[in-house]
Structure 1
Amino acid sequence: MGIVGKIVGGTIGFALGGPLGAIAGAVFGHAFDSSEESGLQGRSGNLSGIEQTQLAFFVSTFSMLAKLAQADGQVRNEEIDTIEAFAVRDLKLSPAEREVALNIFRAALSSPARFEDFALQFYQRFQNNHQMIEMMMDILVRVSVADGVVNRAEEALLLHAVRIFQMGEQRYRQIKSRYTATENQAYEVLGCRPEDSDEAIKKRYRTLAQSYHPDKIAGKGLPDEFIDLAHEKFREIQKAYETVKQERGLR
C-alpha cells in the first residue's frame, strides 16, 4: 500500500511543518473526517521516518506543480488535464489516490505560499539525496513540457528550482532534453557529451545505473506511487547507453 493509502486508511500523526505541513494538514485532515463519516476506523500513531519522507515527496510534487500551473496568473483547463493525466498514466494512482493528489494541487493553488517556499522546504529535506532531487526536477520538467507549452513564467520558476536545488543549469538542460528531441539525446540522458571518452561514458553509465536503481531510491524515501516512474527512468538510462554503445561500437 502506498503512503496515501496508509494515511487515508487511518494512520495519523504526521508533522511536516512549514508550508508543506499546512497543505498536508488541510488535505489529510479532510480525508480523516471523510473516513470517519464513511465508517472507517482511524487509529492514532505517528508516521515512521521513511513514511514522513514519502509524504513530504508526494505533497511537494503536487504543491510545486500547482504553483507552476499558476505561474502566469491563471490555471488553464489544459494544465489541470495534464496533472490528471500525470496522476493516472504516469503514477497509475487509484481513483481515491488521484483525488488526494488533486486535493493537494487545489490546496496549493489557494495557499499564500510561493513556489520557492515549497521548493526550499523540499530541498532542505532532501539536500543530501541528489537522486530524489533529480527525480523531482525530472517530474517538474516532464509535466511542464507535457501540455506542449513551457511559457516564460514557468521557465523562470523551473530555473529558480534549479538554483534552490543547487543543480546547475547544464544538468537542467540535460533533463529537459529528455522530453524534447535533440541530436544528442542519448548523451544528454546520460549527462555526457559526444566528445567524452568511451571510459568516461562507461563510468557515467555505471554510476547512474547504480544510483537510480528503483529499489535503491525507494529505500531513500521515494513514495510507492512513484516507483513506476523510477523504473521508467532506469530503463531510459539503459536504452540511452545501448544507443551510445551501438554508435561507438562499444562492448
Structure 2
Amino acid sequence: MSFFGKFIGGTIGFLMGGPLGAIAGVAFAHVLQQSQDADRISGSSYFRNYNRRMNTTEHSHMTFFVGAFSLLAKLANVDGELTRNEEATIRRFMIEELRLDPTSQYTALRIFDAALSTDQDYGDIARQFYREFRNRPQILELMIDILFRVAIADGGVNKAEGSMILNIARIFNFQQYQYDRIKERYVANTNKYYAILNCRPEDNDETIKKSYRKLVRENHPDAIAAKGLPDEFQKVAADKFRQIQDAYEHIRKERGF
C-alpha cells in the first residue's frame, strides 16, 4: 500500500501547518468530508486516528510529497498560463518517472490543482520545504533536480522557469556554483559529466575520484530514503544515483584511470 493509501483517512495535511498545510487542506477537504460522512452512516472507526500526530518520518514524507507537487504546480504556471503540454508533462512525470500507483496519482493531482488554485507564494512554499530539510542537503538538491527535469521535459527551461528555480535554490541556501552545476546537468554543454560529479574538467583524477566516492555515499537510494524521501520518489533517487555512476564511468574511460 502506498504512503498516501495509508494516510488518506488519517492525519493528512491539516497537521502540517504553513502554506503546505493550507494547500493540503484545500486538496483533501472533500475527501475527508466524504469519509467522515461515510463513518457517520456506517458507524465505522475509519477516522479514529484523525487527530494522531505524525511522527518525524511521516511528517518529512508528507512535506516532501506536498511540497514537490506544489512547487511543480507553481513552476508549470510561472508564466501565468498552464498549457496542455505542461499538464501532460506533469502527468508523464507521475506515471513514467515516479510510477505512482492510482491512489498516489490522484493525491498528487489534488495537490497540484490545489496549489494552482491558491494564492500561496512559491517562495513561502520553498521556505517551509527548506525548514523541514535544511539539514538534509541531498533532499534539497533532489528537489531542484526534479524541477529542472520537469522543466526540460516541456521543451527546455525558459527564462521564467530558470528564474524561479534559481530563486528556490537561493532559498535553499545554495551557492551560485551549486545551482550552476545542477543546471549544467540539463542544459547542453560539454561539461555535463563533470557537472554531475560536482567537478570541473581541469580537476585532477584524485579530485574526481574523491568527489565520486562522496556522492555515492550521500546519494545511495537507501541513504536518501533514510533521510525522509517518500517511497514514491525512490525511482528519481535511483535514477540520480545511476547518473553519478554513468558520469564517473564516462570520465574514467575518457581519462584512462
**Normalised TM-score (structure 1):** 0.93
Q: CA deviation at 1:182?
A: 1.9
Pairwise mapping of residues 35-184 of structure 1 onto structure 2 (< 5 A)?
A: 35=35, 37=38, 41-44=46-49, 45-184=52-191
What does residue 244 of structure 2 align with?
A: 237
What does residue 5 of structure 1 align with?
A: 5
**Normalised TM-score (structure 2):** 0.91
Q: CA deviation at 1:197?
A: 1.0
Whole-Å Cα distance in 2 between the matches of residues 210 and 228 of structure 1? 17
Where 1:23 maps in the other structure, the secondary structure is helix
Whole-Å Cα distance in 2 between the matches of residues 94 and 203 of structure 1? 38
Question: Do the aligned partners of 1:7 and 1:28 also contact (CA within 8 Å) in 2?
Answer: no
Whole-Å Cα distance in 2 between the matches of residues 196 and 129 of structure 1? 27
Whole-Å Cα distance in 1 between the matches of residues 194 and 73 of structure 2? 31
Is 2:38 the partner of 1:31? Answer: no
Q: Which amino acid aligns with 1:219?
A: A
C-alpha distance after superposition, 1:171-212 (max 9, x if no partner): 222222222332121111101011101111111001000000
Q: CA deviation at 1:35?
A: 4.2
Structure 1 unaligned regions, length at least 5: none
C-alpha distance after superposition, 1:13-57 (max 9, x if no partner): 652110001111222333333445497834412322101100000
Aligned length: 249
Whole-Å Cα distance in 2 between the matches of residues 4 and 76 of structure 1? 28
Q: CA deviation at 1:12?
A: 2.2
Question: Do the aligned partners of 1:12 and 1:43 also contact (CA within 8 Å) in 2?
Answer: no
Stretch deviating more after TM superposition (73-82 or 32-41): 32-41
Name the Cα RMSD after superposition: 1.7
Q: CA deviation at 1:86?
A: 0.6
| Identity %, equivalent residues | 47
Whole-Å Cα distance in 1 between the matches of residues 187 and 220 of structure 2? 24
